[in-house]
Structure 1
Amino acid sequence: MVYAHRLHIHQTRQVGNIPYISHLLSVTALVLEAGGTEDEAISALLHDSIEDQGGEKTREEIRQRFGESVVNIVDGCTESETFPKPPWKERKLRYLAQIETANPSVQLVSLADKLHNGRSLLLECDKLGDKMWKFFPVGKTEILWFYDSLLPIYQRTSYLKLADEFRKVVSGLHSFL
């Protein structure tokens, strides 16, 4: 937790100026509550580290500190580590293919991540309405397309309770269209 906090200390969520560590802790709680292992919980804390905080250098630090299993899960949840990032749709299509064929550990961390993101979006929609979408590089239609595309993948995992909650969150987001 200390390592994840140090990596993301200057980062906030896209909406609300909320410290980024809150997202990492929430994703980790979801993983543990779903029966996740210690490696899956550590990976949940670090799932955005390679992508957002240093690429290959951070990957090697994670490998040295936490082992091959953790770095493999984090890699499986990483959309892109290049800067600048590839175009949004290209990254999302690649991520969908990646998650569809991923191992159950990667799918669990990914599902927990997207569930927490979706919950956060829903809360912000309640507070800000349509103004909320201006904080994102693409509009609500594209974000909902991505979530709609993830849903059948998650529903084929063994994490049906989390997948059902994700379905409800996505449905709630659709009500703001």
Structure 2
Amino acid sequence: MSEASCATRAWNRLSEAAAFALTLHAAQLRKGTEIPYIAHLLSVAALVLEHGGDEDLAIAGLLHDAVEDCGVEHEAVIEARFGARVAAVVRDCTDADSFPKPPWQARKQAYLDHLETASPDALLVSACDKLHNARAIATDLRTHGPAVFTRFKAGQAGTLWYYRALADVFTRRLPGPLARELNDVVAAVERQTAAL
């Protein structure tokens, strides 16, 4: 493949969003690991593209936790730099924009309720986020056993409840390969947990 054919699409906005995400999340690690948080954001953006999302939605995948983890003031910056569509998806993927966050159970139930009316764009990005998280739980469960659940505020029971509820919502609202894979991964986590 020639250099010219590799450069037919610039992806300039996606590159800018990746640099912005790196800046925002530079010091963060994945819960209970030494994995840089940016690995999750890059994975979500990749999943969005793999499941038919465009550059705007890949950008939203990179920035989906910016408001929730780094502060509500970033919402206006995201809109100014990347547009209203990206900002709307980031907003729709945010389960809390205040510090301290509301209590876990109420916050997660509110997010599940919100997914019932969320846009197709937001559903795609959110499902990719949850799929990557569920894959990480499955991998860590095989490696570390049930201790993996100590990383989560809700522990084992709450985490399993939340991911089962997410899989059910996406199966209804976003039927297709992405929702099926999320359901399969969640079912594998449930089986792994029951076998421990």
Alignment TM class, shorter chain as reference: over 0.9
Conserved? CA contact 2:92–2:122, under 8 Å: yes
Aligned-residue CA RMSD in angstroms?
A: 1.0
Does residue 105 of structure 2 align to residue 97 of structure 1? no
Take 2:91 and 2:55, find their aligned partners in 1: how far apart are those partners?
17
Q: TM-score of the superposition, structure 1-length normalised?
A: 0.96
Identity over aligned pairs, percent: 43
Aligned twin of 2:149: 133
1:151 paired residue number: 167
1:25-55 per-residue CA deviation (whole Å, 9 max, x = no partner) reads 0001110000101111100000000000121
Q: Does 1:82 find its partner at 2:98?
A: yes
Residue 69, structure 1, aligned to residue 69, structure 2: no
CA distance in 2, matches of 1:162, 1:131: 28
Q: How many positions carry a matched residue from both structures?
A: 176
Q: Does residue 1:168 correspond to 2:184, yes or no?
A: yes
CA deviation map 1:77-97 (0-9, x unaligned): 000011000000011011001
**Quick one: higher RCO (CA 8 Å, sep 6+), 1 or 2?**
1
Q: TM-score, normalised by structure 2?
A: 0.87
Decide which structure has the larger Cα Rg and report it: 2
CA separation in 2, counterparts of 1:15 and 1:169?
Answer: 20
Deviations 1:141-177 (A, max 9, x none): 1111111111222112345101111011111111213
Structure 1 unmatched runs, 5+: none
Aligned mates of 1:136, 1:156 — CA distance in 2: 26
Q: 8 Å contact 2:44–2:125 — kept in the other structure?
A: yes
Evaluate the alpha carbon distance shift between residue 167 and residue 36 of structure 1 in structure 2; reply closer, same or farther with a 3 A threshold. Answer: same
Q: Equivalents in 1 of 2:155, 2:129: separation in Å?
A: 20
Structure 1 runs of 4+ aligned residues shifted over 6 Å read none
Provide the residue aligned with 2:37 in structure 1.
20
